A = this chain, B = another copy of it.
Amino acid sequence: MKQPLSTHFKIGFLGAGQLARMSSLKAFELGMQVAVYSDRPENEPVQFMTPFSFSGSFDDIDSMVEFAKSCDIITLENEFIDSEILRAVQDQSGTPIYPSPDSFALIENKLIEKQTFEKAGIPVTPYALINSENDLNSFGEKHGWPYLLKSSKGGYDGYGNETVRNFKEAKKAFDKLGGNNSREIIAEAFVDFTHELAVQVARNKTGHVVYPCCETVQENHINVAVKSPAQVDSKVSQRAQQLAIAATEAIDGKGIFAYEFFLTKNGELLMNESAPRPHNSGHYTIEGAIASQFENHVRAVCDLPLGSTELRKPAVVMINLLGAHKRDAVVENTEKALAESDGHLHSYGKLQSKPGRKMAHYTLLGENMDETFEKARNLTEKIEI
């Protein structure tokens, strides 16, 4: 591979959402060029940040090979592509892809992911592959109702998930998710948790770094905020960090990875989901940590030394700013948030706002978590998108 800090070195992102956008900003800081591959028909904001923009579906190998050939290295910004396709793109283009197709194959859908981490001794939420209506019933009997049905591939932000309270709902959800149409469906037990935690790990041949264990705050099953560090016992945080490192090693991961955990009422940690890319739970690191998840994403896949994950202040809060309207995007009433010292507004530059769509986020650094959280909520409550 060409030296990453040399003329015309180009990093390619498979996927063109806000994660590619924020990683690109860090690639630019290191003097790199950026290319993006989008599977969307509409303009993606990151396409306004580079002259090197490619489009095509995530199963169009030829298009992806053409894209990859124009780059020195390729990385992922989502998990919607099959590992076999990634492998073909890598082989046919000669351009390395990190996380590698081999690593990705070990977590590419929710079933394989759980099996991989179970095998590595990492506790996961109870689950089962659902092959038949009978399985729907027996899962409910074994783990209790309600439980969750998920398509094993392609879901995000709760899309592709259904909560089912009884057999009738389970059958309906199974069909809705495509279970009768040969989509792979898994059931997951509801976990009685006190906290949802997340940890990011960056790893490459120079070693690994782990971010503090943070806490995601949900309202109506939507992640509305992140607090770092998590307000839990330090033993729990350390354990979550250890599990996250172990998981990254289990897949021989090169890049940035995010892991979500449930902390149960019994104090047990169960891994819920992983992501082979930057993650919403780590957006707070842009200002909150010395080196952000996006910077370490770029460094990790390029085998550059990794940056410090230390927090800049004792309390860091990130608030997700979601669309409220279906309209041309405009972020309104930001004056107070912008004027606040150590408050940082990031808008993703999306052209259209939609109710619930992730449009922007706001990070506030402070000395005390409760105060910082309350202040961040107050500063952003009038923001309307």
Contact = CB atoms under 8 A, between A and B. Distances in A.
Nearest to A333: B5
A328 B2 CA distance: 13
Nearest to A10: B48
Q: Which of A28, A50, A351 has the most CB of B within 10 A?
A: A28
Contacts of A342: 290, 308
Main SS of the interface on chain A? loop
Contacts of A206: 339
Interface residues of A, number: 52
A8 interface: yes
Contact of A51 (B3, B28, B53, B331): B53
A302 to B, nearest CB: 10
A338 interface: yes
A379 to B, nearest CB: 12
Interface string A27-55: 01111111000000000010111111100
A310 interface: yes
A236 interface: no
B21 A25 contact: no
B341 A290 contact: yes
A328 B181 CA distance: 55
A360 interface: yes
Q: Which 9 A-B pairs have the closest CB atoms?
A: A31-B347, A31-B349, A6-B330, A305-B339, A5-B331, A308-B341, A305-B338, A7-B328, A33-B48
Given A49-B49, A310-B341, 7 more contacts: A30-B345, A30-B347, A31-B346, A31-B349, A51-B53, A305-B335, A312-B312
